[in-house]
Amino acid sequence: MAWKMKQGYELVVGLEVHAELATRTKIFCSCPTTFGAVPNTQCCPVCLGYPGALPVLNAEVVHFAAKAGLALGCRIARFSKHDRKNYFYPDLPKAYQISQFDQPLCEGGELLISTAAGEKRIGITRIHIEEDAGKLIHDERGTLLDMNRCGVPLIEIVSEPDIRTPEEADAYLRKLRTVLRYTGVSDCRMQEGSLRCDVNLSIRKPGEAFGTRTEMKNLNSFVSVVKAIEAEYDRQVSAIEAGETILQETRRFDQRSGQTYAMRRKENANDYRYFPEPDLGPVIVTETQLAAWQGELPVLPDARKAAYMAQYGLSAYAAEQIVSERAIAEYFEQAAALSHAPKTVANLLITEVFRLLDGEDAVICISPEDLARLADMTEDGEINNNTAKAAIAGVWQTDETPEDYVNRLGLRQISDAAVLSPLVRQTIEENPKMVAQYYGGKASVKRAIMGAAMRLAAGKANPDMMMRLVDEALDGQENK
Ligand code: ADP
Ligand code: MG
Ligand code: ZN
């Protein structure tokens, strides 16, 4: 049964998202950040926290973080600084994390998401820079440590508590990933942990002040974010209805049971004994740098979506599908520019090409020229829509042109009434039962008769022409 919100309890969610930046080297040393390297081969005294080793800030980290901030409409601080967040954790040998506390690099942005009720703005409180910790690997040998991730640069993107449904959380995360991938500052691969999400959640009766929140850390898929929100909302509602109070705590979402479990009472900022990082100077961003970084931003998905709707008459839904990945949007723009049927280009792209694409970094194996040509052939009545789709699949990953494919298989559309009429006549002769049903008042049978006629034409008939002939044959004679 589909999950439902309970009457009288509003859901309030704010998300903290960690994205690993795609810089070549780590944030405070020159170790590489390559994912999947042999454990503990990408470390040095700085990222391992040896005594006396000093951090040097990687300028590219500020560049990338600021670019993310600009793409999300944030103000970029001309002056910000780093702070130490002190805690003991086995995967962080320094026993503190260098982060940004009271003066983050970016503040006050927003993200527009599409919801069933229309567009909604989700506020972005801040984006700050910090270092990642190492990785604990629990297996049958015990707990192993891989320090390669120590010092990989992260941005933490903190949303306002503006999210009200699990679907909005899902839409926010997808949109955030889209925008970050557009800028190229992060590959946002959730399965590699380069995008991770903490969910803060409370409930309240409508009109009341925010309730006490709990936090679920390190969710690593969109599905588990949605499931964790549903489970934790249900738990809080039951607790309140049983007269209990909600404790501010960190909880763990267990995918197998679909429940959340208390881990520890929530630590507050003062528990971390934040203080300014003495080994690093302030982060200064100049007007010149900022202007240059602004200039590097690509046209973002919202602007492209609006342009496709205005210029090509695409639906909001189709436009949104196409802008969800920058590479796809750029591909579409190339193909649309080469075609006189851009709407058909869009349609073939989001149906057949998307069906053939496999995985988020998959490459489109038909050239924009070929897709444009197929859209034009469809528009001009040379082939029908199904043939266009078959041709996309047929030339996928081959050198054959769609035209050669269509010719080789004799798939050109038949628009000649002299060829199609006998097929319609034959269909009517061979299907007396359906015809009787149709004349008996069952109008929907006409579609089945049409289908039978199309099959006789081996799918090559011009569907509009065929429909007209079927209409004429059924309604033009004895019925009148
Ligand atoms: P911390 O730094 O202790 O994690 P913040 O005040 O920075 O706390 O908030 C972290 C996240 O919690 C933000 O995304 C914010 O929107 C969200 N949040 C704050 N208060 C609530 C609340 N009452 N219910 C749900 N989410 C909340
Ligand atoms: Mg937090
Ligand atoms: Zn290092």
pLDDT, tens only, 331-345: 999 999 999 999 999
CA–CA separation, 213 and 27 (whole Å): 32
The pLDDT of residue 331: 97
Q: Is the pLDDT of residue 413 over 80?
A: yes
> Hey, what are 132's tokens?
């990642």
* Same domain, yes or no: 217 and 281: yes
In a domain, 425, yes or no: yes
Tens digits of residue pLDDT in 370-386: 999 999 999 998 898 99
For the domain that residue 464 is a member of, what is the CATH number?
1.10.10.410
For residues 275 and 129, membership in a common domain is answered with yes
Query: Which atom from ligand 1 is nearest to the alpha carbon of 266?
Result: 3
Q: Minimal CA–CA distance to 168: which of 116, 205, 124, 98?
A: 116
Task: Please determine, for residue 270, whether its predicted confidence score (pLDDT) is greater than 80.
Answer: no
Q: Which of 408, 438, 468 is the last residue of a domain?
A: 408
Instruction: Write the pLDDT tens digit of every residue in 92-114.
Output: 999 999 999 999 999 999 999 99
Would you place residue 50 in the very low, low, confident or very high pLDDT band (cuts 50, 70, 90)? very high
Question: Same structural domain for residues 351 and 391?
Answer: yes
Give me ligand 3 centre to Cα 192, in Å.
20
Is residue 366 assigned to a domain? yes
Average pLDDT over the chain reads 93
Please check the confidence at residue 328 and state whether its pLDDT lies above 80: yes
Please name every residue paired with 156 in a beta bridge, in sequence order, or none if there are none. Answer: 18, 128
200, 251, 264, best to mutate for ligand 1 pocket (most atoms within 8 Å of CB):
200
Q: Which of 362, 306, 368, 316 is nearest to 342 (CA)?
A: 368
- In-domain check, residue 144: yes
Q: Is residue 440 part of a domain?
A: yes
What is the 100 CA–ligand 3 centroid distance (Å)? 20
- pLDDT at site 478: 47
* Residue that terminates a domain, selected from 408, 437, 458: 408
Instruction: Verify that 255 and 314 share a domain, yes or no.
Output: no
Hey, which of 157, 158, 172, 203 would you mutate to test ligand 1's pocket, going by the most ligand atoms within 8 Å of its Cβ?
A: 158
Binned at pLDDT 50, 70 and 90, residue 480 comes out as very low
Are both 202 and 336 inside the same structural domain?
A: no
Residue 471 burial (CB count, 10 A): 13
**Short-list 58, 60, 63, CA closest to 47:** 58
Does 174 lie in the same domain as 37?
yes
First to last CA, the chain: 51
Query: CA-to-CA distance for 456 and 386, rounded, in angstroms?
Result: 15
Mean per-residue pLDDT, 27-56: 95
Please give the helix or strand (H or E) that residue 183 lies within, else none. helix 166-183
Q: Is residue 3 part of a domain?
A: no
Judgement on whether residues 352 and 430 belong to the same structural domain of the protein = no
Kindly report the protein residue whose alpha carbon is nearest to atom 11 of ligand 1.
14
Pair (81, 216) in one structural domain: yes
Percent of the chain with pLDDT over 90: 82
| Alpha helices, DSSP H, located in 297-416 | 301-312, 316-323, 326-338, 342-348, 354-356, 368-379, 385-395, 402-408
Among the bound ligands, the one closest to the CA of 201: 1
CA distance 438 to 87: 77
Q: Does any domain span residue 77? A: yes
- Give the Å distance between the CA of 392 and the centre of ligand 2: 47
* 16 alpha carbon – ligand 2 mean position (Å): 7
Q: Do 23 and 95 sit in the same domain of this protein?
A: yes
Nearest CA residue ID for atom 2, ligand 1: 269
Question: Does 2 reside within a domain?
Answer: no
Asked whether the predicted pLDDT for residue 219 surpasses 70, the reply is yes
Q: What pLDDT shows up at residue 98?
A: 97
Give the residue from 121, 77, 74, 133 showing the smallest Cα distance to 101.
77
Among all bound ligands, the one having the nearest atom to the CA of 17 is 1
Do 22 and 147 share a domain, yes or no? yes
277 & 309 share domain: no
Question: From ligand 1's centre to the CA of 33, what distance in Å?
Answer: 30
Among the three residues 264, 292, 320, which one is the final residue of a domain in this structure?
Answer: 292
Per 3-state DSSP, the chain is made up of helix, strand and coil in percentages (nearest 5) of 40, 20, 40
Write out residues with Cβ below 6 Å of ligand 1.
Answer: 12-16, 158-161, 200-202, 210-211, 213
Ligand 1 pocket, mutate which of 213, 232, 274 (most atoms under 8 A from CB): 213
Separation of CA 210 and ligand 1 centre (Å): 10
Q: How far apart are CA 328 and CA 89, in angstroms?
A: 41
User: Domain containing 462: what range?
Assistant: 417-479
Residue 445: inside a domain: yes
Per-residue pLDDT at 477 = 55
Which ligand places an atom closest to the C-alpha of 157?
A: 1
> What pLDDT score was predicted for residue 186?
97
311 and 259 in a common domain: no
Into how many domains does the chain fold?
3
